[in-house]
């Protein structure tokens, strides 16, 4: 839970598909008690956990998803409006620290040089 679109209210990310692949969802708060849903990314995967952090240091919350094998663990970058794209591995280096615990560490190599783990 966090403000994904920068409008001051709390939004949600649903990590889905623990055993069977499912698409993760983004639920943006419309400020009137409603939620507008969209897919986090284009691919269904086995997501155990997700965390929000500003991994690229641009001021908005990005999403880290820890997916079970054989699915890739992914970092989704926010465009500031609650819309996400998978981080390019040429600019975000993902280090899978353990496939058994379904965790990941993202080391951002750009400005700020942030490291996030879930």
Number of residues that bind Ca ion (CB under 5 A): 16
Among 25, 58, 99, 118, binds Ca ion (CB under 5 A): 58
Collect all residues with Cβ–Cβ distance below 8 Å to 72 and sequence separation of at least 6: 45
Minimum Å gap between C-beta 33 and Ca ion is: 13
Minimum Å gap between C-beta 3 and Ca ion is: 4
Q: Which residue is nearest to Ca ion (CB)?
A: 47
SS (H, E, C) 62-103: EEEEEECCCCCCEEEEECCCCCEEECCCCCEEEEEEECCCCE
Q: Strand order of the sheet with strand 103-108?
A: 92-98, 103-108, 115-117
Q: Answer whether 48's CB lies under 8 Å from 17's CB.
A: no
Among 47, 73, 76, 84, binds Ca ion (CB under 5 A): 47
Q: Please tell me the distance from the alpha carbon of residue 82 to that of residue 79, in angstroms, as a whole number.
A: 7
Among 13, 51, 56, 108, binds Ca ion (CB under 5 A): 56
**Quick check: 71 binds Ca ion (CB under 5 A)?**
no
Note the residues at the interface with Ca ion (CB under 5 A). Answer: 3, 5, 7, 9, 11, 16-17, 22, 24, 45, 47, 54, 56, 58, 60, 62
């Amino acid at each position: 839970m966090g403000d994904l679109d920068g409008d001051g209210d709390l939004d949600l990310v649903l990590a889905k598909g623990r055993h069977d692949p499912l698409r993760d969802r983004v639920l943006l708060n419309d400020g009137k008690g409603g939620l507008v849903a969209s897919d986090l990314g284009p691919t269904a995967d086995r997501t155990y956990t997700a965390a929000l952090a500003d991994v690229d240091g641009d001021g908005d919350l990005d999403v880290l998803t820890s997916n079970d094998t054989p699915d890739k663990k992914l970092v989704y970058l926010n465009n500031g409006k609650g819309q996400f794209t998978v981080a390019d591995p040429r600019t975000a280096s993902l280090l899978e620290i353990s496939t058994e615990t379904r965790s990941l560490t993202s080391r951002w190599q750009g400005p700020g040089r942030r490291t996030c783990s879930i």
